Each structure stands twice: as structure tokens, then as C-alpha cells.
Amino acid sequence: MSRALAMIMAGGPSPNLSVMSEIRVAPAIPFGGKYRLIDFSLSNCVNSDIYNVAVITQYLPQSLNEHLGTGAPWDLDLMTGGLRVVHPYRGGRFGDWQRGTADAVRRNLDYLKEQPEETVMVLSGDHIYLMDYRPLLRQHHQTGADLTLAVRRVSPHDVHRYGIVALGQEDVVEGFEEKPRRAREALANMGVYAFKKDVLISLLEKNDYVDFGRHLVPAMVEGNMKVRAHHFPGYWADIGTVQSYWEANMSLLAENPALDLYDPHWTVLTRSMERAPVKCGAVARVDGNILSNGCRIDGVVEHSVLSPGVVVAEGAVVRNSIILHDTVIEAGAVVDRCIVDKNVHVGKGCLLGVGDDNTANKELPDWLNTGLTLVGKDAVLPEKLEVGRNVVIHSTTRAEDFAKKKKVASGSFVGEKP
């Protein structure tokens, strides 16, 4: 029997990821060249000897379902246990669509009750970290806790992004506040939970909790149930905004990155397509990048992360950017501090991310204000177009959508959400 049943939350929308989540759920977003965000939670499970894993879906699941398949890349294609994709449904005793993370588990209590494990791990599908869950599970069993949650220190300036935990003696959780404006503590809930299965089932059957962080966990703390914290000192990133996504990718380019994807003892597994090796032409110049299989580079690529199949033509320049699968950047184009989704065509002489105007984006002023420009999947950008900073070009935008204009001002957007 597996050490625990893992349930990975992969069903909620992520509007602050803009074009990245317009056509897919966040856990299916590519990361670090060849990976998807959900690969980290799945790999942590199998590396921690957890082989009974359920992925709960709802929002735009097609890309995620295709990536997961039978679970073979993670050795989860098993007759007993293994990977199960738990689909949303209407009807039943708990009503309509999932309203939040706790509600998503509630709607699958029949599945949960059928599993033999007495411990249930609830995990997020859009967090990046390498964590051995076995010490947490060992602490959970030794202390007899009803819930053990992983915590990590964050910057005091970022407490508004997380659930903040206050601890007493022996790591007993005495306070829990979801996304406070200010807090004395800076100990963040990582969204890694280990529950006693019977306790979790009882709480969900008797109460109408919608989210773990906003409702169920605070209620357990306030009700003086046995809630303990497990300290995690390693790298962890919650990918909830385009800025956090860009920063997490860029951090991989450091000389000694905090997230070590090259550790042979903790492999991050993924579904990979067979591609030819990277090819750099005679006049290509590459410096400090991550380049994936199938990339063909004849131009200049600096401090960037390129997914499989990206083409950078001679005379093109890519700097400080994330370029996803099969995007083509034509001759003379310059892409600076951008996130460009799959299958985008950047026309000859197109300038993406130009100028010193850092006007915040009209659609996402709180989350897109640091100079990043975003291009959605399947967009086609015409030749000699100039695009400023903090611009959003939505998925499937065509060349004719630019209405003959040659400049897109900083902070604006082009096209419509699919």
C-alpha cells in the first residue's frame, strides 16, 4: 500500500496568469523549457513512494489531460493505485460544479472512501518545488496530528499572497490567516497538507467549507484540533501571477540555481516528445540560456528559456524572455523581456517589448506593471510591428487584428480572450 493517497488540485482558473491560462489550466502551463507545472507535484509523489494519485480537474482540462495520459512518465500507469484523473460532474448529493479546493474534494468523497490509505495528502498542481514528503508524513504519524501542513518563510512584503501561520510550542499551529494585508509572522502555508482521512471526511460531510486555506484549515485551528506545521527550507514558488512565473523561469539561469533540476537523486519526470537535438547555426550567439530539444538558433539568444521547437532566425534577437513550443521568430525581430506562448509567429523586423514607457497594463494593472509583455498561443504578429511594455496580445490574435497600426502602446492589449 502507498504511504498516502495524494489528491492534486488542478481545477481552478488563474486569471492573474493572463494569456498563459486563457487556453489551459495553470498546472498544464509549460515551465523551464520541457516541463509542466504539475510535473513537480507528481514527481515529488513518486520520489516519496506515493503511488496512488488523483488529479482533480475542472477548468480548461484538455491540455492537462493530454499531458497526463495514463501516467506512464511518472510510473503511475498501475492497475492498483496509480494515476487517476477525477473529472468534474453535475448532480449528486453535493450539487453542482466545484466552488473551491475543499469543495472539489467533497464532491469526490465516494472515491476517497474507497482508497485503502489512512492518510490523505492534498497538494497544489501549480507550485514549483522539490520536496521529499516522507519526513512530513513521518512527523504527521508520530505526533498523531489531524492535519500537518508544510510551511516556509517568505518575505514580509509578500505575506498578502499567502496563508500566514502562527506557531506555538512543538510546531503547534495556533493561528492561521489567509492572505492578510500585514502580519507579524512571515511563515507561509505551502498548500501541502497531510490529513487523517477519517477527520477530513467528517469535516467535509458536516460543513460547507469551500476552500482549504480560507475556510477548512482556519476552522480546524480555531476549533483546537491537532494541527502541526512541518518546516521546509528549500526552494518553493507559487505560480499565481505572470511575474512569479517569469521570475521562477529566470531563476533557473543563475550559476547555482536554488531549484536544482539536475539532481540525479530527485528527477523531475515529464511527458516528453521526441525531438531532434538543439541546432545553433554558424552565426548564432547564445549566452546563459536554457535551450530545449528541437530548437534552431541562427540569431542571438541571451538569458532566456526556450521550449522545444523554437526557431530564432538569423538577425533576430531574444533577451530575458520565455519562448514556448514551436514559436517562430523571424529575421530582424527583437524580443525583449517577454513571455511568448506556443505556436506564435513573430514577423520580420517586429519589435516586442520596446521603449522606456512602463505604463501598467489596463487589464491587469496590479499584476502586469514591471515591463513584461505577453503574447498568447497561436498569435500572428505582422512585420515591423512595434509593441511596448506591459502589453497583452491575446491568444489567436491575427495580423489583421492590428488594423494596419505599426505601434502598440505600453499598457494596452490587442485581441480578445478566447
Tell me the one-letter amino acid at 62. Q
What does the alpha-carbon distance between residue 140 and residue 149 come to, in Å, rounded to a whole number? 9
**Structural domains counted in the chain:** 2
Evaluate whether residue 269 is within a structural domain: no
Q: Indicate which CATH number applies to the domain containing 321.
A: 2.160.10.10
> Looking at the structure, do residues 286 and 243 belong to the same domain, yes or no?
no
> Looking at the structure, do residues 287 and 337 belong to the same domain, yes or no?
yes
Evaluate whether residue 256 is within a structural domain: no
Cell of 392: 497583452
> Looking at the structure, do residues 230 and 291 belong to the same domain, yes or no?
no
| Angle 74-77-79 from CA coordinates, rounded to 5° | 145
- Residue 93 has a pLDDT of 78
Over the chain (418 residues), the average pLDDT of each successive run of 10 is 89 95 97 98 97 97 96 94 92 82 95 96 98 98 98 90 92 93 87 98 96 96 97 95 97 96 95 94 97 98 98 98 98 98 98 96 94 98 97 96 89 92
> Looking at the structure, do residues 326 and 383 belong to the same domain, yes or no?
yes
- Residue 280 has a pLDDT of 97
> Looking at the structure, do residues 39 and 181 belong to the same domain, yes or no?
yes
Q: Indicate which CATH number applies to the domain containing 221.
A: 3.90.550.10
Evaluate whether residue 130 is within a structural domain: yes
Evaluate whether residue 225 is within a structural domain: yes
In this structure, how many other beta carbons lie within 10 angstroms of the beta carbon of residue 281?
A: 13
Helix (H, G, I), strand (E, B) or coil at 293: coil
What does the alpha-carbon distance between residue 232 and residue 51 come to, in Å, rounded to a whole number? 22
- Residue 1 has a pLDDT of 52
Tell me the one-letter amino acid at 228. R
Helix (H, G, I), strand (E, B) or coil at 400: helix
Evaluate whether residue 97 is within a structural domain: yes
Domain that holds residue 339: 279-414
Evaluate whether residue 71 is within a structural domain: yes
Evaluate whether residue 345 is within a structural domain: yes
> Looking at the structure, do residues 146 and 234 belong to the same domain, yes or no?
yes
Evaluate whether residue 351 is within a structural domain: yes
DSSP-H helix ranges across 85-145 = 101-106, 109-114, 134-143
Residue 349 half-sphere exposure, CB side, CA atoms within 13 Å? 6
